[in-house]
A and B are shown apart, each in its own frame.
Chain A
Amino acid sequence: MPQETNIPNKSILTPFNVVAGIIILAGLVITVLRFTKGLGAVTNLDDNNPWGIWIGFDLLCGVALAAGGYVTSAACYIFGLKRYHSAVRPAILTAFLGYALVVLALHYDVGRPWRLPYPIFLSPGTTSLLYEVGLCVFLYLAVLFIEYSPAALEWLGLKKVRNLIVRMTLVLTIFGVVLSTLHQSSLGALFMIAPSKLHPLWYSNYLPVYFFISSIFAGLSMVIFEGTLAHRFLHHKMDATHLRESEGVALGFSKAASFVMMGYLSVKLIGISVDNNWHLLFTGWGLWFLLELIGFVALPAFLYSLAVRERNLRWARWAAALSVLGVVLNRLNISVVAFNWYLPSAQRYVPSWMEIGTSIFIVTLGVVIYRFITTRMPIFYEHPDFRHDI
């Protein structure tokens, strides 16, 4: 008798579920605090440091790491690289969840979240780069939802709507790339308004270019990184096509990432030369800058190229993890570390544990929803009714 009741209990109380449950519970507590006591009670933000990790990590990193969606769909549908087709759905799903969570995180950070539609529908401030970001993220979230929807519609068995949406794939993909180019770059351009606050090594007229290029290899690396995790935990959900193509995806994306990162390095060097910032490289800030550029861009780029030459999947995965960390480091450097660099250390911002907790909570929410969807809907496999039907 007790054995019978234990079986369903056991299937719910897995270590993953317990940990995720605790994090989500803690997140809900912080949520209540945020919306009853205000930002002051939960964050370490102040008048000199109005943006913390909820912008630096949740928004900037969230958007950059969700770039896999537009990169993969562009590779497959625009550049005609059909052999990456099985990577499109997981990438689109990650992107959709990523953007949805970015918008959720914004609800914590801004003062009156229900007014977030105001700039778009009521009083557009078109001189602001934040307006461009807001409009593009809003539109792109809608595009990603439509791009993701065939998986849900197949699951629900709604064939007609599904076929209608699949026919719009190309238009949606192009629209997605346009919107991504705009807001990925604008997130960097946001900081161009404050040359007096951002350290000159990170401030550049090329900030939008840096952000756009780094979003490409962030997206490529995230697809590889996420594929690694998916293979470990969701292997049983993958069909033969996905398994057969996955190595090709990882190595092909490694090759692309390596090239793009080399391009990024060149543009960075041009940026340093244009502003003649060479002398700053030999300061403490310079070392930190070089660590970001050499340790987390040049090194993984080299590792990627080795991985491609030797057809070594392990190296590709290490390179992907390093690149993802590098993009996170870059975004945090620009928004938090090198921002207000001139202020005395007592006036600098360090995130509170509740800010970090909220960010972890939101990432966990993403992982849980990702798992819910991938274990139910045709993401890693083709739905039997729609096989070979794009």
Chain B
Amino acid sequence: MGVTRRKFLGWVGAAAVGTTSMMVPKARAASNKHFEGYPGSFGVLHDTTRCIGCRKCEEACNRVNDLPSPARPFDDLTVLENPRRTSAAAFTVVNRFESDAGEPVVFAKNQCNHCLEPACASACFVRALRKDKTGAVVYDASLCVGCRYCMVACPFNIPAYEYDEPLTPRIRKCHLCQFRIEKGLLPGCVETCPTEALAFGERDRLLKIARQRIDKFPGRYVDHVYGEREMGGTSWLYLSPRPFNQIAMREDLGVQPASRFTSGPLSAVPIVVGLWPVLLTGIYAISKRKDKIAQQERIEAVATTVADANDEMKTKMAELKDKMTREREAMINLEIKKALKEAAEKEDA
């Protein structure tokens, strides 16, 4: 096995990791750029008013993705009695929503919404998830470590994990049938839908169609295209006869793409990397210098004390010497006087 280009680049990247990649996170907290999706990228419009809950899309999805066959067959509609979410064995699920007010039942299909700026791809620390030019958010199992941070990050709770695989678990989710799109085929679910509740096309066109439907039948739809702006916009778009939070679609997600939530802390990285060493070295230098000055002052203080003591000693010694000299002189004088006196007395005698 030789060195592939990717591996080589990986090594080069790793070599530069301490400097460049930590310094330049692809976060644009302070910029006014807004990514509106790759031009001409695809999406799907799901008109829930047309969905009859037949689960044909689930069946098609299962077939084109070679997923394990479910415990209960797809024509068993009692499955709809309980709300479901996507799982490793089902990339899409249809849920049924009753209403107290006697309004008609609504069915809504749930799968990866293929965000324009996906939370999962932003969260993935090994780039196993990315937004493809087709519009699909695709996954590369050959890179995935299995940390499941994408599942934490996804605001729609879509990615699922193969918890029963001990050594080779994968993240599993809808990939918009990217491999079919590239062959010029429709996604499995769209192809099979008998009521045209699913429409595939360029996202920009789908948005226009959705708006036209709302304009044409204002009584049939709430005046909102879900996915136009939610979490920065998604490639899947939804129309609903009832407020979206009544069909288990959160309305409190906001319009910021998920990457905006983490761009702040990421932009703090260069500040810490650049400033901390300077500050800490400064603190070290100051404390060291303080110690040094304190040490010097101590030495000087000792020196002056010693010098003072010496001076004092010297003056005392001098005084003493002086005194002694004087005393000795006095003694000598006295002796001389005495001798003179004695001599005089002798002479007298």
Contacts and interface: CB of A to CB of B under 8 A. Distances in A.
B280 A78 contact: yes
Contact of A48 (B7, B157, B164): B157
B7 A122 contact: yes
B287 interface: yes
B25 interface: yes
A14 interface: no
Given A170-B284, A194-B152, A111 B126 contact: no
B250 A80 contact: no
B261 A46 contact: no
A170 B277 CA distance: 11
B74 interface: no
Interface stretch (B263-271, B321-329, B336-344): B263-271
Given A38-B165, A177-B280, A197-B152, A192 B262 contact: yes
Interface in A111-155: 111-113, 115-116, 118-132, 134-135, 139
Contacts of A314: none
A39 B163 contact: yes
B21 A126 contact: yes
B145 A118 contact: yes
Contact of B144 (A79, A111, A113, A196): A111
A178 B258 CA distance: 27
Given A35-B167, A38-B163, A192 B261 contact: yes
Interface string B168-203: 111000000000000000000000000000000000
Contacts of A77: 284
Given A47-B160, A80-B291, A185 B280 contact: no
Contacts of A43: 163
Contacts of B152: 50-51, 190-191, 193-194, 197
B152 to A, nearest CB: 6
B317 to A, nearest CB: 41
Contact of B10 (A35, A80, A122, A186): A122
A120 B304 CA distance: 61
Contacts of B22: 126, 132, 135
A50 B88 CA distance: 13
A231 B127 CA distance: 48
Secondary structure type dominating chain A contacts: helix
A94 interface: no
Contacts of B125: 119, 124-125, 128, 130-131, 134
Contacts of A186: 265
Given A129-B262, A182-B269, A123 B127 contact: yes
B95 to A, nearest CB: 15
Nearest to B159: A47
Nearest to A45: B163
A358 interface: no
Contacts of B153: 193-194
Contacts of B88: 47
B349 interface: no
Interface string A18-58: 00000000000000001111111101011110110000000
A178 B265 contact: no
B18 to A, nearest CB: 8
Nearest to A178: B276
B252 A196 contact: yes
Contact of A78 (B25, B86, B155, B283): B283
B85 A37 contact: no
A189 B265 contact: yes
A24 B293 CA distance: 54
A347 to B, nearest CB: 9
B149 A80 contact: no
Nearest to A82: B291
Contacts of A110: 145-148
Nearest to B85: A47
Interface in B215-253: 250, 252-253
Nearest to B18: A139
Interface string A142-184: 0000000000000000000000000000100110011001100
B269 A193 contact: no
Contacts of B17: 120, 124, 135
Contacts of B162: 38, 111
B266 A127 contact: yes
Given A38-B166, A132-B266, A194-B153, A115 B145 contact: yes
Given A35-B166, A38-B164, A193-B258, A78 B284 contact: yes
A328 B261 CA distance: 25
Given A35-B167, A39-B169, A45-B163, A130 B146 contact: no
A47 B161 contact: yes
Nearest to B287: A80
A195 interface: yes
B145 to A, nearest CB: 5
A191 B123 CA distance: 10
Given A51-B152, A178-B277, A128 B287 contact: no
A17 interface: no
B24 interface: yes
A216 to B, nearest CB: 14
Given A186-B265, A193-B261, A127 B25 contact: yes
6 contacts: A39-B164, A50-B161, A80-B290, A115-B146, A127-B122, A131-B125
Interface of A: 34-41, 43, 45-48, 50-51, 74, 77-80, 109-113, 115-116, 118-132, 134-135, 139, 170, 173-174, 177-178, 181-182, 185-186, 189-197, 205, 207-208
Interface of B: 6-7, 10-11, 13-14, 17-18, 21-22, 24-27, 85-88, 119, 121-128, 143-149, 151-153, 155, 157, 159-170, 250, 252-254, 258-259, 261-262, 264-266, 268-269, 272-273, 276-277, 280-281, 283-284, 287-288, 290-291
Given A74-B280, A111-B147, A123-B143, 18 more contacts: A38-B166, A40-B163, A47-B87, A50-B161, A51-B148, A77-B284, A110-B148, A111-B145, A112-B144, A120-B17, A124-B125, A125-B128, A130-B147, A178-B272, A181-B272, A194-B119, A194-B261, A207-B265
Q: What are the 6 closest A-B residue pairs judged by CB atoms, nearest first? A: A111-B146, A80-B287, A40-B163, A189-B265, A50-B148, A131-B125
